């Protein structure tokens, strides 16, 4: 091969390498949006769902629907045969409940870092890898003093997360509480309205939709409830109190005579008086 041909071949190979690097760093174009399946929520954003290649924050109190919305997004990715990851800060993700929301557990990687300081770093590595269509970072740390608390990210960590989502082409969902909001590109606030349902509002967005708000019944998020919410879900004050449903708990009274067998049958004679042996021994009156 001549020197000129070798130079042309080397140039073509270098162009291909550069093109591969660009494709690896660019967001996946063939799956640009994850739709939760909740029409009211998907309509809040201009893309018609949660856009890939971006960081999006779901901020709300406990039981406000933020985790369920994230599970719906993960389920949507699994329908497209894609992998997802869940960085479980509070270590409270219950796999059977996730499966009931349509999540394919065989395609979900659950990571539970030992220290809160490792949460952001773990999510950055997962999102930047490009192997996962959706990476959920749960920053909550359970209940403290009756209110939900969480890990507060620094500005630098927020930028790293957004950059990792862009380079890996993943949707990075941040689950946070109002007391410790994150720095996601788009922030959606979830709010429970009691038995009536929940509300979702876009409070920060660079792509439009700012200030839009949707109110929906619970069965929109949990179809198993049915239109009237007639599933086996007990609300406060609706616990059955019938005798057949709540049996009485039998507690022995302190004055009741024990059976004489002691604890596990190992203390005979200590819980009741010993039986008389006179008839067995053939004796008369007991000596004085």
Structural domains in the chain, sorted by start:
27-222 (3.40.50.300)
Give the model confidence (pLDDT) of 68-110 as tens digits: 999 999 999 999 999 999 999 999 999 999 999 999 999 999 9
Q: Is 124 exposed, middle or buried (0-12, 13-18, 19+ CB in 10 A)?
A: buried
Tell me the C-alpha distance between 213 and 199, whole Å.
7
Residue 4 confidence (pLDDT) above 50? yes
**Judging by DSSP bridges, how do beta strands 50-51 and 33-34 pair with one another?**
antiparallel
pTM over 0.85: no
CB 169 within 8 A of CB 161: no
Residue 168 confidence (pLDDT) above 90? yes
Residue 278 confidence (pLDDT) above 80? no
Greatest mean pLDDT among 80-84, 178-182, 250-254: 80-84
Say what the pLDDT of residue 233 is: 42
Say what the pLDDT of residue 164 is: 95
């Amino acid at each position: 091969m001549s020197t000129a041909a070798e130079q042309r071949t080397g140039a073509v190979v270098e162009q291909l390498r550069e093109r591969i690097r660009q494709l690896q760093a660019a967001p996946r174009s063939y799956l640009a949006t994850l739709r939760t399946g909740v029409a009211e929520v998907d309509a809040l954003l201009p893309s018609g769902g949660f856009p890939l290649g971006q960081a999006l924050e779901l901020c709300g109190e406990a039981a406000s629907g933020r985790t369920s919305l994230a599970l719906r997004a993960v389920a949507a990715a699994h329908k497209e045969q894609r992998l997802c990851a869940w960085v479980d800060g509070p270590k409270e993700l219950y796999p059977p409940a996730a499966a009931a929301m349509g999540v394919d557990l065989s395609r979900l990687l659950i990571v539970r870092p030992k220290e809160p300081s490792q949460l952001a770093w773990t999510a950055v590595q997962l999102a930047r890898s490009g192997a996962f269509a959706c990476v959920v970072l749960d920053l909550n740390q359970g209940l403290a003093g009756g209110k939900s608390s969480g890990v507060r990210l620094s500005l630098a960590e927020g930028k790293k997360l957004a950059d990792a989502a862009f380079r890996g082409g993943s949707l990075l969902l941040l689950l946070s509480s109002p007391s410790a909001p994150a720095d996601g590109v788009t922030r959606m606030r979830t709010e429970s309205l009691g038995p009536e349902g929940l509300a979702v509002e876009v409070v920060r967005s660079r792509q439009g939709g700012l200030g839009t708000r949707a109110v929906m019944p619970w069965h929109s998020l949990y179809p198993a409830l049915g239109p009237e919410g007639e599933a086996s879900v007990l609300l406060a004050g609706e616990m059955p109190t019938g005798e057949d449903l709540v049996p009485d708990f039998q507690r022995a009274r302190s004055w009741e005579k024990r059976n004489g067998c002691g604890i596990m049958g190992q203390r005979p004679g200590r819980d009741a008086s010993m039986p008389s042996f006179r008839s067995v021994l053939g004796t008369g009156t007991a000596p004085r």
